[in-house]
Structure 1
Amino acid sequence: MEVVTRLKNWSAKVRLQSRRDDAARIGGISAVVAMVAVLGGCAFAPGMRMLVSQSPAAASASSGASEPAAAAVGKDNGASGHTDASVGSTTDASQSAKATSAVSTTADVPITELDVEYVRRMQQQREESGQEQARLLSDVPPPYTVGVGDVLQIVVWDHPELSAALGGTPAQNTTRPGDPIAGFVVDQSGDLTFPYAGTLHVAGLRTEDVQKRLSAALGKYFVKPQVTVRMASYRAHDIYVDGEVHAPGVVAVNDVPMSLYEAIARAGGFSDSADQSALVLVRGGVSHPINLTQMLASGLNPSRLYLRSGDRLRIVARDENDVYVMGEVNKPVSAIPNRTGRITLADALSQAGSVNASTADAAQMFVVRGALNGTPQVFHLDGRSPVAMLVAKEFDLQPKDVVYVDGNGLVRFSRVLSLLLPAINAGMTAGILAK
């Protein structure tokens, strides 16, 4: 019996030791798997990340505008000791597959490297665009012609009795702002009725032409009548100004050609929220953008731009032309242009509190433009050099651009650890308990 008892105890000890060895092996395997996942975790790091990769077709599409971006998927993550795979590399199968997928989905959108030469070409294009706008609006409009609703003042010298056709002059305190002043009003048919002259069609005529017709008609009853015709109230032609001005509304057009500055001044001038680089002129059903800031910078005089009857001028608010700054910045924000309407990449980053020195990768700064207009563009800036900061200071952003600053390799590594540490701790705890 004693021998049997000893054999049972020995068998129990063997089974317990075997279970402990199995638990230790499982814990070791779990640790190895965890370490492999950590070392390759950059490929699966959570959060947003931009891949600077470009297909040959996209590179050839953007060769006319600038040099294509370097086809690199990631940067060296020195803190983690792990280097991301480049395009065409086979060091990491998962990362290569991910890069291939990203390239295939974005092959039609070229990535343009921002440098001093590209910014200079953009400035030249803006100057040419401003000159084209100036040529479009610099034509002096034709002389003012009489139209429906205009009020004419007609005097026939030596015949004061003809002025009785105007009727009695109303009292000053009974007039209303919308009442026309005393004179002969051109009716809705464009006709003018005058004693002895009868009804004359005067719409579309200049005042001197109306004077000649009246003199010819009155010559049948008077000997060499002396007739004077002048505009008493301009009511037929007007321009509508709305948007960010102090007094939006209708601005009457007179016999003096109305310039762009004069129309804005009659509407009370720009308000504090006006974007002076975003004026829209609608003429004949076609919208023409006007950038006053660029015109002044190019040496063009906006007072030489003339408006015509029927034009509509709208001044856009600055907060309608904001840009979005996100990613590894201290304060993600919707950046608003200044009063001139200009906002550069450096201005947008400044409003966002600059890049985060602890988490941002200054070499991975992107500007995404035109996502909805059918011609999207992506610009890449390597901000690690002082020259890049000069480029950011001169690179003008457009409304609704998206500025994104990517994170560095250490940030991605720490995010992977934050996801794997609970599983590692659980495996180590299980191993300890098994022993």
Structure 2
Amino acid sequence: MPRVAPARLAAALLGALALAGCNLLPAAGPYSAELRNPRTQDADGVGYKLVPVTANVVRVLAQEEAEGLIGTFRNDRKPIPDVKIGIGDVVSVTLFEASSGGLFIPEEAASRDGNFVTLPDQQVDSSGDISVPYAGQVKAAGLRPEQVQNAIVAHLNNRAIEPQAVVTVKDQRSSTVTVLGEVGTPVKFPLTSSGERVLDAISRAGATPSKDYDMFVTLQRGGRDATISFRRLVREPANNIYLQPNDTLYIYARARTYLAFGASGKQGQFAFNDDTVSLSEAIGQAEGLNDGQADPQSVFLFRLEGRETLRRMGVDVSDTTEERVPTIYTVNYREPTGFLLTTKLPMHNKDVVYAANAGSVEITKFLNLVLLGATTAESMAHTDTYLYGPN
């Protein structure tokens, strides 16, 4: 058997180690230098955005989080719904005349109580009209009852004796709100002119959240939608807005979680324990940063962020048309402001927090491998001496 030169073997091991560089060393994730290197950011075609956490970034994210229902629907013209007659509604029409002998009150009916007649209930037809004797087809859809009353009187003025009309909606089928999801009884109910708010609708459906911070309410209106936690809806009366015709409320429960990797005290999946959790609270729940391992200047938050949100931060998003952009926020906990800023940075469901190792940790790993190579070479040298004798 040929003898192996221990010195040559040790040199080969060290050479291989040097050529492999950091990639040969064990690690829980990417090195901070790789994340910050623009040449490696799009190596796999992901095209993520690297965003340092600043006061402006936190302001934009906090503002987006605070919008809620009132933020999305603040431009709606009227807070209390303007309930109008619609196609399919059932209405009742009562006609009055000043004296008997007119179109609706015959002479022989003069002794009865009141000079009026109530027409049979009728449904607003597909053209939006109702039918009134001697007035013909009268437009009703899109109008308030008093407007329909005035239209009927205008049609009858030259024929009846000082006519008056009262229009009443008996069954409102067009201006309704629907409540679906995890509720006691899904319900569809008509709005009234006094106005119903979001919590009024939820109480009608019998929603009974077990963990109100995991219960969410989505309001869909006119092609737009907004979601808010049940706890926040109760806590912030401004978000308990008036409902509008054809609104849909969807109530659902969702256990939100985030992941923590790298040099944090604990790694794994963690559940939100409140309706809002900040990045600093999330790191605290993962038992903070490992004092003997973490680089406090290299804490990263991974998320798919909204394109418009990034644009408001001043991030260049002209190179992508995606609505959700892969984003890595970087935090420097070496600076006191890092702690202050992240108390206001809200976490999202499925976020990933990653704390990179300090450079000294990587040096230690490298030296340990060097020591292992040297020890292996020395052991082989002793083995050679035992088998073949000294040179």
- What TM-score, normalized by structure 2, do the two folds share? 0.67
Q: Give how far 1:306 is off.
A: 4.0
Partner of 1:190: 128
Q: Give how far 1:238 is off.
A: 1.6
Higher helix share: 1
Partner of 1:397: 347
Q: 1:407 aligned to 353, 357, 370, which one?
A: 357
CA root-mean-square deviation? 4.7
Partner of 1:78: none
Name the % identity: 25
Q: Give how far 1:236 is off.
A: 1.5
Do the aligned partners of 2:94 and 2:116 also contact (CA within 8 Å) in 1? no
Separation of aligned partners in 2, 1:245 and 1:191: 37
Establish whether residue 347 from structure 1 lines up as the match of residue 281 from structure 2.
Answer: yes
Establish whether residue 232 from structure 1 lines up as the match of residue 170 from structure 2.
Answer: yes
Higher strand share: 2
Q: Give how far 1:326 is off.
A: 2.4
Q: 1:312 aligned to 244, 248, 251, which one?
A: 248
Counterpart secondary structure, 2:32: coil
Separation of aligned partners in 2, 1:258 and 1:334: 40
Partner of 2:301: 367
Q: 1:152 aligned to 84, 91, 100, which one?
A: 91
Residues 385-413 of structure 1, C-alpha deviation per residue, up to 9 Å, x if partnerless?
A: 55432322222233443211123446545
Partner of 1:325: 260
- CA change 1:247–1:336 in 2 (3 A) is farther
Corresponding pairs, count: 350
Q: Give how far 1:207 is off.
A: 0.9
Establish whether residue 51 from structure 1 lines up as the match of residue 32 from structure 2.
Answer: yes
**Largest Rg, 1 or 2:** 1
Aligned positions of 1:132-151 closer than 5 A: 133=72, 135-137=74-76, 139-140=78-79, 143-151=82-90
Counterpart secondary structure, 2:147: helix
Separation of aligned partners in 2, 1:269 and 1:290: 16
Residues 121-170 of structure 1, C-alpha deviation per residue, up to 9 Å, x if partnerless?
A: 6546766898863532363467322122323244456469955x65xxxx
Q: Give how far 1:365 is off.
A: 0.7
Do the aligned partners of 2:212 and 2:231 also contact (CA within 8 Å) in 1? no
Counterpart secondary structure, 1:301: helix
Aligned positions of 1:114-263 closer than 5 A: 114-115=53-54, 118-120=57-59, 122-123=61-62, 133=72, 135-137=74-76, 139-140=78-79, 143-156=82-95, 158=113, 162=117, 166=120, 183-193=121-131, 200-215=138-153, 223-243=161-181, 247-263=185-201
Separation of aligned partners in 2, 1:30 and 1:160: 117
Establish whether residue 301 from structure 1 lines up as the match of residue 238 from structure 2.
Answer: yes
- CA change 1:138–1:335 in 2 (3 A) is farther
Separation of aligned partners in 1, 2:216 and 2:77: 18
- CA change 1:373–1:188 in 2 (3 A) is closer
- What TM-score, normalized by structure 1, do the two folds share? 0.61
Partner of 1:68: none
Do the aligned partners of 2:69 and 2:226 also contact (CA within 8 Å) in 1? no
Separation of aligned partners in 2, 1:249 and 1:419: 67
> Unaligned stretches of 5+ in structure 2?
97-112, 306-321, 386-391
**Amino acid corresponding to residue 302 of structure 1 in structure 2:** N
Separation of aligned partners in 2, 1:159 and 1:222: 15
- CA change 1:124–1:196 in 2 (3 A) is closer
Larger mean CA deviation between 381-390 and 219-228 belongs to: 219-228
Do the aligned partners of 2:52 and 2:329 also contact (CA within 8 Å) in 1? yes
**Amino acid corresponding to residue 261 of structure 2 in structure 1:** M
Separation of aligned partners in 1, 2:94 and 2:202: 35
Do the aligned partners of 2:84 and 2:175 also contact (CA within 8 Å) in 1? no
Do the aligned partners of 1:244 and 1:273 also contact (CA within 8 Å) in 2? no
Residues 350-404 of structure 1, C-alpha deviation per residue, up to 9 Å, x if partnerless?
A: 3434344454333321012327645433221122455432322222233443211
Establish whether residue 434 from structure 1 lines up as the match of residue 384 from structure 2.
Answer: yes
